[in-house]
Amino acid sequence: MTATDTAAAAAAEAILSVENISLSFGAVRAIRDVSFDIRKGEIRAIIGPNGAGKTSMLNVINGFYHPQEGRILFRGAVRKQMRPYEAAAGGIARTFQNVALFKGMTTLDNIMTGRNLKMDRWRVNLLPAMFYYGPTQREEIAHRAFVEEIIDFLEIEAIRKTPVGRLPYGLQKRVELGRALAAEPDLLLLDEPMAGMNLEEKQDMCRFILDVNDEFGTTIALIEHDMGVVMDLSDRVVVLDHGVKIADGTPDQVKSDQNVIDAYLGVSH
Amino acid sequence: MEFVNLVLIAPIADMAEYPSFFLEVVFGGLMTGVMYSLVALGFVLIFKASGVFNFAQGVFALFAALTLVGLMTGTMPFTLDKILPQFPAWLAVIATFAVMIGLAVAVERFVLRPLVNQDQIIMFMSTIGLAFVLEGLGDTIWGSEVKALDVGIPTGALYLGEIQIQVFDLWAAAIAAFLVAVLAVFFQWTRTGRALRAVADDHQAALSVGIPLKNIWIIVWSVAGLVALVAGIMWGSKSGVQFSLSLIALKALPVLILGGFTSVPGAIVGGLIIGVGEKVAEVYWGPLVNGAIENWFAYVVALAFLLFRPQGLFGEKIIERV
Amino acid sequence: MTDLQQASAEADTFPKLLVENARRIGDRPAYRQKNLGIWQTLTWREAADAAREIGMGLVALGLERGDKVALVGQNTSLLYISFDAIQSVGGIPVPLYADGVAEEMSYVLDHAEARFAICQNQEQIDKIESTRDRIPSIEALVYEEPKGMRRYDQPHIRSLEDLRRLGREREAEQPGFFRERVAEGKGDDLAIIVYTSGTTGNPKGVMLSHDALRNSARLACDMESLGPGEDILAYLPLAWVGDHFISHSMQYVAGFTANCPESPDTLIADLRDIGPTLFIAPPAIFENFLTQIGIRIGDAARVKRWMYDYFIGVARRVGPRILDGRGVGVADRLLYALGELCVYGPIKNNLGFTRTRIAYTGGAPLGEEVFSYYRSIGVNLKQLYGQTESSAYVCLQRDGDARLDTVGPPAPDVEVRIAGGGELLYRSPGNFLGYYKNEEATRETLDAEGWVHTGDAAIVTDDGHVKIVDRAKDVGAMSDGTVFAPQYIENKLKFYPFIREAVAHGDGRDYAAAFINIDLEAVGNFAEREGLGYSGYTDLAQQDQVYDLIQRNIEEVNADLARDSGLASTQIKRFLILHKELDADDGELTRTRKLRRRIIADRYGELIDALYSERDHVRVNARVTFEDGRVGEFNADVKIRDVATAAPGRA
C-alpha cells in the first residue's frame, strides 16, 4: 500500500467531521471553534459537564441548529449547515435527551415512522393505499417485517401495540432507539441514552448500543453523563467544556488528561 | 307540581303520543348534526396536526361554497358579470378543491411559517385574522348577496311509514359518511397519515425521522379545505350560500368541547348529539320559553361538559407519567 | 383405545412416542412459536427431524449414553425438541431455570456433571461462561439465538444451527445409528433430572423415569379426555416439572400442540392469539389477571361499570351451578346468556380463555374471590396438588366437583395417607426414582414401600378430598400455645390486590406481626389516581397513604381471623412495608415464589425485632443482587404501624 493510499483510506474513514464550528444564541456562545471527526464504524462519545455544549453540537450535526461559523463534512460533501430533513435523508438518525416519541401512537407505529424515508413515495400514497392492495400491501409488509426485526432485537415484543405514552421511561428510550434504527442509519446520534435509568436498564441499553454497533456496523455518536458508561462503551471520546474542545482521544488518554480532570472529573467527583 | 308537569312530563308524553313526529324531529336533528360534525372535523384535523385552533374553518366552508357557485354560474371575479363559461358541477368541485389546496399553500407560506414555534394563542389569533381576511376576500371576489347552489344532489321526500325523510338529507349523510371513512383509512393506514399523526404528536421528533413539516401542514390544511368544501356544498345547497355559513364555526365549538378537541369520532358523535339535542329541545321545550332554544342549547351542554368532563366524551385522558 | 393411546402404550419412551407421532399425525402441528410477530408452526414430522439432527449433533460432539445435557432458556420449540434429541441418543436432559443467577446455575451444572448445555441465547451462555471454572464437567455450549454471539469465537461455543449441520453430516456417515439408539431406550430408563429449589438448602435433582412421566400423563389425558385437538400455551419455566409434564409428557401422549410465547412479557397477547383449550398457571397469574380486569373496569365509563357489576353479580349467583351442570331457572339462564354476550364473553376473549375447557392451578392456595370469579364466568378452573417427586400431580379436582378449600381427591391410581404429625404421604405411578447423588435425602423422602413423604400437613375429608394446611415444619405455636400457621395468614393477606407478598411472624411470640410487599402495579395505579408522586418501589412503599391502604386490608383480615376462636389470637397487631421487594435473586424466595423463611429471618432480623418493640420506624441498609450477580446497596427508613384487632367471635 502506498502512502497516498493510506492517506486516502484514513480520509475515507471519517463519515462526518465538523470543522471550526461556532454557534451563538444572541450573546451566548454555545460552541466555540470546535473540530472533530467521527469515523466509520466507531462509537464516539461527546462528554463534558453541564452546559458544555454537547446537545448543541448534536443539534448542529442533525441540522436543528445552524452554526454561524465553520463547516460540516458529511460523506465527503462540504456543507455550511445541515437541515433536519437532509440529515435524516442522508442517513443520520437520532434520539433525544428527554425522549421525543409520538406519545399517542403505538410502539409499532412509532418505529414505522422511522421507516418514513425508506418508503417508496408513490406506492404508499393516498389513492392506492385507500384500497390497501397490491404494491402498497407488499411495501407495507416489507417495512413491517423490518420493523419486527427491530422489535425482536430490542426485546419489546410485549409493547408492540401499546401507545408509548403509557410506557415507563426506560422502555420509551428503547422505543426511541428502535425508531432511529428503523431508518437504517449510517450515523446514529444518541443524546444521553441512559439518562434517568436504573442500573439494570442502563446495562440493557449498553448491550443494545454495543450490539447495534456490532451487528449492523452502525457508527454511533453519543452524549453521556455517566463516565463509567462512556469509558466502557466508546472507542474515542471528545470532551467539551464551556463550548470549547479540551480533549480528544481514546478513553484512557482522556481519563488521564489533566485538562479533563480539572474541568470535568475534578469538579463533579 | 304544575311546573314539573310542564317541564318534565308533558314533553315526554308528547313524544310518546306521536312517535313518528318525534322520529322526524330526531332525523332532522341528525342532519343538522352531520353539518356540525363536518365543520368540527375540519377543526380536529388541523388541531391534531398542527396544534392550531383554526377559527377560520367556518369561513373556509363559506369561501369554498362561494367559489363553487361562482365557477358554476360563470361569474367573473370582482366585477361579478356572468360572462365566463359555466363549469359543470363535477368540474367546479374539482376546481374548487384545487383553489382550497392553493389556499392551504398560501396559509402555510404566509401564516404558519413565519409564526412557527410561537404560542398557541398567537396562532389562534392569526386564524381569527385569517377568517376576517377570507370573509372580506370572498365578498370582494364573489359578491355578498345570497346565492343558490345546486350541484345535482337529488331532492324530494321519502316516506317510511308515517315518517317523512328528505332524500337530500340521506345523500348528505351518505357523502359525509364516505368522507369520514376515507379520512379514517388515510390517517390509519397510509404513510402520509402516519406522518400526520407523528407531526401532531411531536414536531421535533418528526423532523428527526425526516418528515418535512412544510408538506405535512399543506396536506392537513388541504384536507381541512376538502372537508370545508363538502360542508359548504351541503349547507349551501340546503339554505343558500350566505354569510351566516361562517357562523356554524361557532356551533362547532360546543361540538368540540363535547367530543374532545383531538378526537375524530368525538367530532362526529358530538355533532350528532348537538344536532339532535337542539332540535328536540326546540320542538318540545321551545314553547315554554318562547322558542330560540336552538340558539343556545349547544352552549349550555358545552358548559356542563366543561364542568364535569373537560376532556370531552372521547378526549384523551390526561395522564402524565413521571 | 384410540390410535394414539395405543401408540403411547407401545412406545415406552418419549423419543419413541415422537417417532410414533411423526408417523401417525406427522402433518399436525406439534409446536408453534411466535417469531417476529408471526406464529411459526413445526409439525410432528419436522419436530422428529429436528430432534434427530440435534441428537446426532450431540453424538458428533461426543455424547455417550448416560451423559447429562443441560437445557436453559425461555420456552422455545427447539429447546423442547432438544429434550427428545438428548433422550434419543441416550443422554439425560437437565432443565435449568432461565432466570437463575450464575451462582445457582453453576451449582446445578456441576452437581449434575453436565457435559453439554443447550442455551437459548447469549444471556445464558454468559452466565455459564462466567462460572465455567467451577463446572469442570462442561465441554461444549450451544446457543439457539445468534443475536449478540458474533464476537464469541471460543471453540467450545457453537450455534444450534451449526450443531444440526454436524448432526446431518453424522447421520449421513452413520445412517441407522439414531434409530438403533432410540430403540435401545426402555420405559424404566431415567428420562430427566429436575432440580427443585426447595425452601432450604441446595437444590435436589429429582430423577424421573419415562414410565413415571408417561403413565401419569396417560392417566391425566384419559381422565380429561385430551386428544390431538388441544392447544396449550407453553410459557412456564422449562425447569418446572409441571411445565415439562403438561407441555411435553401430556403433549406427546395426547399428540396436541404446544405454543411457545414470543417473549416472557407477551403472555397476555399470546394467550389471546392462541386461545388455549388447556391452561395451567400458578394462582398468582389468575390473581394478576383479575387485578388487571379490576383496574380496567375502574377506569371504564360508568355505564360499563354498572353493566359489569350487574352481570358479575348474576354470574356469581348462578355461574358456578351452570358450570357444574346443576339446575338453574330459565330466567337466570337467559340473564346469564345475556351476560355471556355483554360481559363474560368479552372478558374471556380478552384473557384468551374463550376456548379454555380446563384451567389448572396449583402450587399455592387460591383466593375465594379468584376461584369463584373464574368459575362463575364459565372458566373451568380446577386445583391440583402435586410435587416434582410425583411427576407433577397427586390430587386432581374432577369436573363438576371443584372446591375452593380442598385440592381434590387423589388422582387415578394414586394412593394417599396421613402419617403421624399430619404429614401427607402418597404412592403414585409417577413416583420418582430418587434424588440424584443424594442417597440420604432419598431415604428420608421415599420409603421402602414406595410412599413419598410430602412435608405438607394435610387432612383427608370424609368424602376423600385432600386439604392442605401448611408446610408441616412451618406450623408453630405462639407463646400462649395457640397453633400458628403463618402461610394461612399470609395467603389471606395476599388475596388483596395491593399486597404482593406477606411474611407473618408469631412463632414463640406474644402476638402476630407481618412484613408486607406491596404490588407495585396495583399500588402504583392507586397512587396515580390519588395524585401521589413517587420515584420507585421504596419511595412508594413508605408513603403514609399506602400504609393507610394496607392497614385497612389487614384490619379486614383480622376481622376474618377473629371469627374463628382458634385463630383469633393470631391477628396481626403490627406491620411494616418492606423497603425492597422480596426477590428470588436475593435468595429470599424460591424460583416458584415461595418464602425462604430462614433467610428472611436472618436478613431482616433487625426489622423483626422492631416489630416486637415500641419503635415506630427503623433505619435499614439493604442490598440487592442483580442478575449478573453483582450486589448494590442503599439506605432506607421503614415505618411500623399498629393495627386494630377485632374481638374474638365477632364478625
For A95-150, how does the pLDDT look when each residue is reduced to its tens digit (9 = 90+)? 988 888 888 889 998 999 888 777 755 444 444 444 555 666 777 788 889 999 99
> What average pLDDT does this structure show over C206-210?
96
Interface of A with C in 152-181 (CB under 8 A): 152-153, 155, 157-161
Residue B6: per-residue pLDDT: 75
List, in order, residues 6 or more apart from A76 with CB less than 8 Å away.
A12
Q: Is the pLDDT score of B317 beyond 80?
A: no
Q: Quick one: cell of C380?
A: 373451568
- Chain A residues within an 8 Å CB radius of B223: none
C-alpha cell at B200: 401532531
SS3 C468: strand
The reply to whether residue A109 touches residue B197, judged by beta carbons under 8 angstroms, is yes
Dump the DSSP string for C63-126.
--TT-EEEEESS--HHHHHHHHHHHHTT-EEEEE-TT--HHHHHHHHHHHTEEEEEESSHHHHH
A62 → closest Cβ in B200, B208, B319: B208
Partner-chain residue, chosen from A94, A112, A130, that has the shortest CB–CB distance to B208: A94
**Plot region of C423 (φ>0 → left; ψ -120 to 50 → alpha; else → beta):** beta
d(CA B201, CA B10): 50
With CB atoms and an 8 Å threshold, state whether C269 touches A161: yes
How close, in Å, is residue B185 to chain A by CA atoms?
6
CB-based contact B199:B86 (threshold 8 Å): no
Instruction: Say if residue A8's pLDDT is above 60.
Output: no
Residue A52, C-beta contacts closer than 8 angstroms, at least 6 positions apart: A240, A241, A242, A243
Q: Give the gap in angstroms from C-alpha C498 to the nearest C-alpha of chain A.
A: 20
Mean pLDDT of chain A: 83
Return the pLDDT at B319.
39
A96 has a chain B CB within 8 A of its CB: yes
* 3-state percent helix, strand, coil for chain C, nearest multiple of 5: 45, 20, 35
CA A210 to chain centre: 13
C-alpha closest to that of C182 among C88, C245, C279, C271: C88
Does residue C201 carry a pLDDT above 80?
Answer: no
pLDDT at C202: 84
Q: Percentage of residues in chain C with pLDDT exceeding 70?
A: 95
| pLDDT surpassing 80 at residue A7 | no
Judged against a pLDDT cut of 80, whether residue C8 lies above it is answered with no
Please say whether the beta carbons of A88 and B210 come within 8 A: yes
More confident: B98 or B209: B98
Q: How many CB pairs under 8 A join A and C?
A: 43
Q: Which of B122-126, B240-244, B288-292, C52-56 is least confident?
A: B288-292
Predicted TM-score (pTM) of this structure:
0.73
Q: Identify the chains in contact with C, defined as 3+ C-beta pairs within 8 A.
A: A
State the pLDDT at residue A124.
43
Which of A46-50, B157-161, C542-546 bottoms out in mean pLDDT, i.e. has the lowest?
A: B157-161
Distances (CA, A) of C430 to A131, C219, C391, C434, C444: 59, 10, 5, 12, 18
Across the interface, which of B185, B205, B208 has its CB nearest the CB of A130? Answer: B185
Q: What's the mean pLDDT in C430-445?
A: 92
Mean pLDDT of C327-354: 89
Minimal CA–CA distance to C42: which of C88, C81, C82? C81
Distance from CA of B205 to the nearest CA of A (A): 5
Q: In this predicted structure, what is the pLDDT of residue A269?
A: 39
Least confident of A80-84, A162-166, C78-82, C219-223: A80-84
pLDDT for the residue C134: 92
Q: What is the mean pLDDT of residues C124-142?
A: 94
- The bridge status of strand C483-484 relative to strand C476-477 is antiparallel
**In angstroms, what separates the C-alpha of B302 from chain A's closest C-alpha?**
25
Residue C428: its pLDDT value, please? 93
* Residue B234 pLDDT > 90: no
B5-12 average pLDDT score: 78
A104–B201 CB contact, under 8 Å: yes
- Contact criterion met (CB < 8 Å) for A158 and C151: no
Q: Check CB contact under 8 Å for A160 and C269.
A: yes
For residues C352 and C279, give the distance between their C-alpha atoms in angstroms, rounded to a whole number. Answer: 10
User: At residue C32, what are phi and psi to the nearest 5 degrees?
Assistant: -130, 145
- The pLDDT of residue C331 is 87
CB atoms A211 and C148 under 8 Å: yes
Question: For position A136, what pLDDT does the model report?
Answer: 67
Q: How far is C414 from chain A (nearest CA, A)?
A: 41
Selecting from A200, A207, A211 the residue whose C-beta is nearest the C-beta of C626 gives A200
Span of A227-231, C34-38, C170-174 with lowest mean pLDDT: A227-231
Report the amino acid identity of residue C527.
A
ipTM over 0.85: no
Residue B182 has its nearest CB partner, among A96, A130, A183, at A130
Burial of residue C594, with CB atoms counted within 10 A of its CB: 0-12 exposed, 13-18 middle, 19 or more buried: middle
Q: How confident is the model at residue C626 (pLDDT cuts 50, 70, 90)?
A: low
Subunit partners of chain A (3 or more CB pairs within 8 A): B, C
Output the nine-digit C-alpha cell for A65.
441548529
Contact A207/C at CB under 8 A: yes
**Strand ranges of the sheet holding A77-79, from the earlier edge strand across to the other edge:** A28-39, A14-25, A69-74, A77-79
Chain A residues close to C265, C-beta within 8 Å: 157-159
Over residues B191-215, mean pLDDT: 80
Closest CA to A25 of A48, A47, A62, A51: A51
Contact C150 A157 (CB under 8 A): no
CA C31/CA C46 separation, integer angstroms:
10
Q: Note which residues in 626-645 of chain C have CB less than 8 A from chain A.
A: 626-628, 632
Contact of A96 with A177, CB cutoff 8 Å = no
According to the model, what pLDDT value does residue A127 have?
47
CB-side exposure of C142: number of CA atoms within 13 Å?
A: 24
Is the predicted pLDDT of residue C513 greater than 50, yes or no?
Answer: yes
The yes-or-no verdict on residue C3 having pLDDT over 80 is no
For residue C6, pLDDT over 60 is answered with no
State which H helix or E strand residue C422 sits in. none
Sequence-ordered list of residues with C-beta below 8 angstroms from that of B60, at least 6 positions apart, any chain: B42, B54, B100, B103, B134, B224, B225, B228, B232
For B31-90, the pLDDT digits (tens) are 888 888 888 888 888 887 777 888 888 889 899 999 999 888 888 788 778 878 888 888
